[in-house]
Amino acid sequence: MRLPIPLRRLWPKTLFGQLLLIMVSGTLVIQLMSSSIWFDVRFAQVMEAPVRLIAARSAPLIAQADCHAGSLQLPNHYQVRCAESEPVARTDERRGRHRVELLLDQALAYELGRDAHARLLKVQLTDELGQPIVWRSLFGLRTAQAHIQFAVPLADGHWLTIDGEELQGWSGESAWVLISDYLLRVYALRIVAVLLVCLIAVRLCLRPLRRLADAARGLGSNLEQAPLPLDGPEEVRQAAQAFNAMQQRLIAMVNDKAYFLAAVSHDLRTPLTRMRLRLERLEPGEHKERLRQNIVQMDEMIGQVLDYLRAGEQQNLQQVDMDRLLARLCADLASAEEPLPVHGQAGMIEVDALMLQRCLQNLLVNALRYAKEVSVTLQPTADQVAIHIDDHGPGIAAAQLSTITEPFVRGENSRNQASGGYGLGLSIAQRIAASHGGDLIVTNRPEGGLRVSVLLPRSRATP
């Protein structure tokens, strides 16, 4: 069911917030429904003084009552009448009337010295105009008068009905004390308690889900990560079990694919070796040189395919001096005509040294292939290191930037004319960066040329 747009904007985005809102809202609704208990108790408290006064003033009337005699002397705001049958009580009274009836019967018994068997017929809190003001009087915001009608049986079989009114009386507690007591005890404390319980319960329930989400995010960079523990609620355990099974299937699929490609690439080198041996027997000439170039290209392609497959293998992580590794690599590739300056320092970083060297070497060779001027910049932060490789070449069309790191995808012709390559250099580098929990980003520089950025975390957290 879709929520209306105004409610949809207020609806929490996280599962934690949604569960918390549902539980607190449900508790609040239940509390509103059950708050009538407080009103009933408070109603009886407010009525206590008027009931005792009415009982004290009604006791002499009951003791002297004789339905066959003349009228009695009545206090102000009191009325009496006799009936041969028991009067019928009103059925639309508050549930708190039972407490008032019990209090009235006890007060009359104390005054008369015997059980009066009183039957409460009507009880109401009204203002000076006779209008009901129950809730305001319960909170002490208005001084009300109690109107009570009750009947008692007489010795001659008749029923004496007494109507009496008495003021609510003086309260030792201010209205704000009563209101704060109601809001604090009935709502605030319960909501706080529910919030604490919800926070603990929801966090315990969501912890396995967060672990599942973290494992799903890390699966792309580390397929060999440890399987999820099977704990938590039954539904979460089933999800974790399904995730572990999916991970094993993915590992099997990747291993099968890697084994197949590696076997094919390895088997192709056997006929290539035989072709080289036969090529050496041919007489020098243009035909022999073309064959030799074709064999070299095929051998290079097979080597790059194997490098691409090995890029996703499990790493041998260790602390490596990034500055020294990059300086040595740039020194090996630089020349007098094509210097490779390195700017900035990064310090130590947890990586697989051989894989990272292969990644950076592919990127540097690729940059030197398309441009004469190449520079490297290290941009460290507290939790990651960014390695920017900038060249002054022709760049890449903006439409190809999002797909240039895919296997066997090459840049536009202006960047690949007479440059060679098989579209695996950036793919290998991107896969190595991803296997370290990092990323590889390719952008065109505003001043011309290409920037390839390798983002690597300083350390790998254990999944």
Please give the average pLDDT of every successive group of 10 residues along the chain, which has 463 residues: 63 76 79 69 75 89 74 79 81 67 89 88 75 58 75 87 78 59 72 80 79 81 79 82 90 81 75 82 80 81 73 74 90 78 89 87 86 88 90 84 78 49 77 86 89 87 47
| Strands of the 384-391 sheet, one edge to the other | 342-343, 374-380, 384-391, 450-457, 439-444
**pLDDT of the residue at 245:** 92
Short-list 425, 208, 395, CA closest to 303: 425
Say if strands 374-380 and 342-343 run parallel, antiparallel, or are unpaired: parallel
How far apart (Å, rounded) are the C-alpha atoms in residues 193 and 32? Answer: 16
**pLDDT of the residue at 280:** 81
DSSP secondary structure letter of residue 132? B
How far apart (Å, rounded) are the C-alpha atoms in residues 109 and 113? Answer: 5
**pLDDT of the residue at 415:** 47
**pLDDT of the residue at 385:** 92
**pLDDT of the residue at 417:** 42
Short-list 438, 453, 345, 331, CA closest to 391: 453
**pLDDT of the residue at 414:** 43
Q: What fold, for 318-457?
A: Heat Shock Protein 90 (3.30.565)
Long-range contacts of residues 87-93, Cβ cutoff 8 Å, at least 24 apart: 87/119, 87/121, 87/151, 87/159, 87/161, 88/121, 89/119, 89/120, 89/121, 89/122, 90/121, 90/122, 93/122, 93/123
Short-list 144, 137, 146, CA closest to 165: 146
CA end-to-end span of the chain: 36
**pLDDT of the residue at 442:** 92
φ/ψ of 320, rounded to 5, equals -125, 140
CATH class of 221-310: mainly alpha
User: Cβ neighbours of residue 97 under 8 Å, at least 6 residues apart?
Assistant: 120, 123
Say if strands 145-153 and 159-167 run parallel, antiparallel, or are unpaired: antiparallel
Give 378's strand partners: 387
Residue spans per domain, the chain: 5-34+179-207, 36-172, 221-310, 318-457
How far apart (Å, rounded) are the C-alpha atoms in residues 15 and 198? Answer: 13
Short-list 145, 97, 146, CA closest to 120: 97
**pLDDT of the residue at 211:** 85
How far apart (Å, rounded) are the C-alpha atoms in residues 363 and 404? Answer: 13
Q: Residue 321: which H helix or E strand, with range?
A: strand 318-321
- The three-state secondary structure class of 151 is strand
How would you label 191-222 residue by residue, b for 16+ Cβ within 10 Å and e otherwise?
A: eeebeeebeeebeebbebbebbeebeeebebb
The C-alpha angle 263, 267, 268, rounded to 5 degrees, equals: 120
How far apart (Å, rounded) are the C-alpha atoms in residues 40 and 37? Answer: 5
